[in-house]
Chain A
Amino acid sequence: MPTPALTPSAFGYAPFQKRQIWYAITITLTAAIGPFLLWPALAGRILAVNFLPHIYCYLGKPALVWTHVTADLLTGLAYVFISGTLACLVYMGHPDIPFHWMFLAFGLFIVACGCTHLMEVVTIWIPVYVLSGVVKVVTALASVTTAVLLPTTVPKALTLLRAVKSAEQITENKIESLNKEMARRNTELVAANKELDSFCYSVSHDLRTPLRSIDGFSLALLEDCQDRLNPEEKAHLHQVRAATKQMAQLIDDMLALSRSTRREIRLQEVNLSQMAREIAAQLQGSAPERQATFTIAPGLMAEGDPNLLRIVLENLLGNAWKFTSRVPQSSIEFGTIRQNGQPAYFVRDNGSGFEMEYVHRLFGAFQRLHDVRDFPGTGVGLATVQRVVHRHGGQVWAEGAVGKGATFYFLLRPQSNGHSVEGGQGWKHAKGSFF
């Protein structure tokens, strides 16, 4: 059985990064276009290269002016872009990011640096040296603050890094040990299944063999000593034979139950209506004289293991057949109801029913609610049904009243999302623990 291994999964940050880039681009564009929108005359003044008030600062060479302007402009915009990105990172990942104030300080420092570069460009045309000075002072303050604060975070950051690393290590170790544990459990399970297989083999072979002798030699006595046995002695031998038969049936049912647990489930589309019709025909054929009506809803499909689902239907329809044997007109219905948006199949009969008080015992192995003299059986059928339905991830429950018939419902694994529906809906019934 392949075991899905746990791997340290990457947490989904991809959409986060995409959004972050868009924010940064928006900020940068705003910084670049904003001044022109606020002050449309700026463009005209910039283009008036020949009227540069400070052309002499650049040796009167327009090419040199443009080199400086382009470089300063690009640097400034890049700084704004970088700080925009950092701001987004801090803003969006803020609960997970340690030292986010440091990022902010660093971002501010970069913005300030960017502004000094942009001011360099502005002052070529407009002599706002006071503003330029203020920007430089702010930059200096931000830089110095960042420079002073940054070293204090180094030990903390290192500790944090180590912690992250050891946490990762711990997670990896944990996953590894979980994987090992799972592999071990799996091996155990395989071994247990093997043991169960050989146990069942033993049961099927070794428990039956003595029964054959008990029955065979009882009959031999009946045949060979016919004249010497009185009627009571003969009756005893008949009882021995009847008990043998009962025991043989028990062994077979027990094996069927254990097989329903062991057999690998192969899911496919199953036509339950078709299956129910076949079983109904068999039942009717077994006692053609019985007056019975089977009402089978057409076209009921289910996803499941056909062999196992046949066991379910055989048991439920067989029970309905058995427990309606004393009513003059048996009426057995197979259909479906909606239960939380899923089809729940049901088998309903008008037979002897049962007391709801004991409903919890219905699905336990070897549990019976009827006298074996009234209705024969071993009490394994419904346990097998429950086992099969549980193995499909579904549930089984029943309703009934004495003399008014019984309805058995089963719900198979929901086909839409493949999740198990075990538990949670309050239909917990007897858990027949067996094997």
Chain B
Amino acid sequence: METREGVILLVEDNPGDEALTLRALKRNDIKNEVVIARNGPEALDYLFGSGIHEGRDLPVLPEIILLDLKLPKLDGLEVLYRLRGEERTRLLPVVIFTSSNEEHDQANGYALGANSYVRKPIDFEQFSEVVRQIALYWLVLNEPAPARTRTWGSSDPAAIGELFKTQEQ
């Protein structure tokens, strides 16, 4: 499987799950760079070039964020809320990757703009397959929003709506 180049941001506090995700990627021959954030603020620091990621090459955004929900300091939903509030990360693909199958987590996740919600299986063979499919979809099949829109173009839905109105006239 030839995946697009680009960073996978893995937001995961559990060392076991971190190691297993990395193992699953390796097992499926997915060679993308994986950046690991072990809590909410670390994830935001990476995305916005602050804190421990002060001064990194900002225009590089991850291709996909695998976001755990239960995290120290800021939990996954709050991280999602904050990055959806920022222009440069508004359209970044976010897959919630969690143990929880609570309805309210799913509902809140989607309400806050998650692109996908995947429950981590316990059986490692299934887990590995899930990781493979996520990578296949988001790094191969899915066409991301053009970088222009993500970084400096207009991604304001209201502005796009205006565009439709002009066309109708």
Q: Which residues of A contact B (CB under 8 A)?
A: 200-201, 204-206, 208-213, 215-217, 219-220, 241, 244-245, 248, 255
Contacts and interface: CB of A to CB of B under 8 A. Distances in A.
Contacts of B125: 219
Contacts of B16: 209-210, 212-213, 216-217
A215 B120 CA distance: 13
B20 A204 contact: no
Q: Interface residue tally of chain B, by bracket? A: 20 to 34
A158 to B, nearest CB: 63
A382 B17 CA distance: 33
Given A205-B70, A209-B14, A209-B17, A215 B100 contact: no
B12 to A, nearest CB: 10
B82 interface: no
A248 B122 CA distance: 7
A168 to B, nearest CB: 47
Contact of B122 (A201, A208, A217): A208
Most interface-central of A206, A216, A217, A219 (chain B CB within 10 A): A216
A163 B122 CA distance: 71
Given A206-B70, A212-B121, A215-B124, 17 more contacts: A200-B102, A204-B101, A204-B102, A205-B69, A206-B99, A208-B99, A210-B16, A211-B122, A213-B20, A216-B19, A216-B127, A217-B16, A219-B124, A220-B23, A220-B124, A244-B122, A248-B123
B102 A212 contact: no
Interface in B77-136: 98-102, 120-125, 127
Contacts of B124: 212, 215-216, 219-220
A247 to B, nearest CB: 8
B120 to A, nearest CB: 6
A220 B23 CA distance: 9
B143 to A, nearest CB: 32
Interface hub of B14, B17, B19, B99 (most chain A Cβ within 10 A): B99
A128 B17 CA distance: 117
23 contacts: A200-B102, A201-B100, A204-B101, A204-B102, A205-B69, A208-B99, A208-B122, A209-B16, A209-B17, A209-B99, A212-B16, A212-B20, A212-B99, A212-B121, A213-B20, A215-B124, A216-B16, A216-B20, A216-B124, A216-B127, A219-B124, A220-B23, A244-B123
B105 to A, nearest CB: 8
Contacts of A241: 123
Interface of B: 14, 16-17, 19-20, 23, 69-70, 98-102, 120-125, 127
A215 B23 contact: no
Nearest to A220: B23
Nearest to B121: A212
A205 B122 contact: no
A244 B123 CA distance: 8
B100 A205 contact: yes
A24 to B, nearest CB: 66
A374 B106 CA distance: 37
A175 B127 CA distance: 58
A212 B17 CA distance: 7
A220 B14 CA distance: 17
Contacts of B17: 209, 212-213
Contacts of A210: 16
Contacts of A220: 23, 124
Nearest to B23: A220
Contacts of B69: 205
Contacts of B14: 209, 213
Given A204-B99, A205-B98, A210-B16, A216 B70 contact: no
A217 B19 CA distance: 9
A146 to B, nearest CB: 76
B137 to A, nearest CB: 21
B122 A212 contact: yes
Nearest to B101: A204
B100 A204 contact: yes
A210 B49 CA distance: 32
The 4 closest A-B pairs by CB, nearest first: A213-B16, A216-B124, A216-B20, A248-B122
Contact of B123 (A204, A213, A217, A245): A245
Contacts of A212: 16-17, 20, 99, 120-122, 124, 127
Contacts of B70: 205-206
Nearest to B126: A215
Most chain A CB within a 10 A radius of its CB, from B98, B102, B122, B123: B122
Given A212-B16, A212-B17, A212-B127, A245 B102 contact: no
A205 B104 CA distance: 13
A381 to B, nearest CB: 18
A208 B101 CA distance: 11
A64 to B, nearest CB: 92
A23 B138 CA distance: 89
A97 B122 CA distance: 76
A245 B127 CA distance: 13
Nearest to A210: B16
Contacts of A201: 100, 102
A205 B123 contact: no
A209 B98 CA distance: 9
A420 B120 CA distance: 41
